[in-house]
Structure 1
């Protein structure tokens, strides 16, 4: 779907009655254009920047796999930090302001939580 926004200048109205007046709206300062020509020319730039063929598909798959890898790495890092809390001594936990009960509660949580 293509949406064309036109800002009317002084004296123009969207309620013009004749075909000539309606087609004059699409002129944009150049030679007069039909509505279909305006839409096709406006839409030409929309698809030019999008990758075509397998290259675009492969790049999307690569981005998805990298994103999945970063997500899994975050989950594993969370798990490693929770296990580190379980390995700390009472003095170390006291230094960071966490009780043994809090450390145990955090350490037994699943990695996806």
Structure 2
């Protein structure tokens, strides 16, 4: 091995990647779980609201300015 390669090999052995901080990973994972739970909660609330529209009478729908067809269209929308 050439002398300059031997020196490079010694340096490579001493260089280590920065340590992974477990606390940072845990905080990130926790934040992602909280965000996912929030998204799931919002989706369930939308679903409950849309189901409630279907259960309303025609007069109740008229009071909030919707027709039966509009209520069905809202229910069929993607979450």
Pairwise same-fold verdict (TM > 0.5): yes
Q: Are 2:41 and 1:84 aligned?
A: no
Tell me which residue corresponds to 1:27. Answer: none
Count how many residue pairs are aligned between Structure 1 and Structure 2.
60
Q: Distance in 2 between matches of 1:83 and 1:110?
A: 13
Greater share of residues in helix: 2
TM-score by length of 2: 0.70
After superposition, what is the alpha-carbon deviation per residue over 1:35-78, rounded to whole angstroms, capped at 9, x for unaligned? Answer: xxxxxxxxxxxxxxxxx611111011000000011011111111
Unmatched runs of 5 consecutive residues or more in structure 2:
1-19
Tell which has more relative contact order, 1 or 2 (C-alpha 8 A, sep 6+).
Answer: 2
Distance 1:69 1:59 in 2: 15
Aligned to 2:26: 58
Q: How does 1:12-91 map to 2 (within 5 A)?
A: 53-91=21-59
The runs of 4+ residues in structure 1 deviating greater than 2 Å are: 108-111
Give TM-score scaled by structure 1 length.
0.50
CA contact (8 A) 1:79 1:110 kept: no
Could you tell me how far apart the structure 2 residues matched to 1:103 and 1:96 are? 11
CA shift at 1:109, angstroms? 2.4
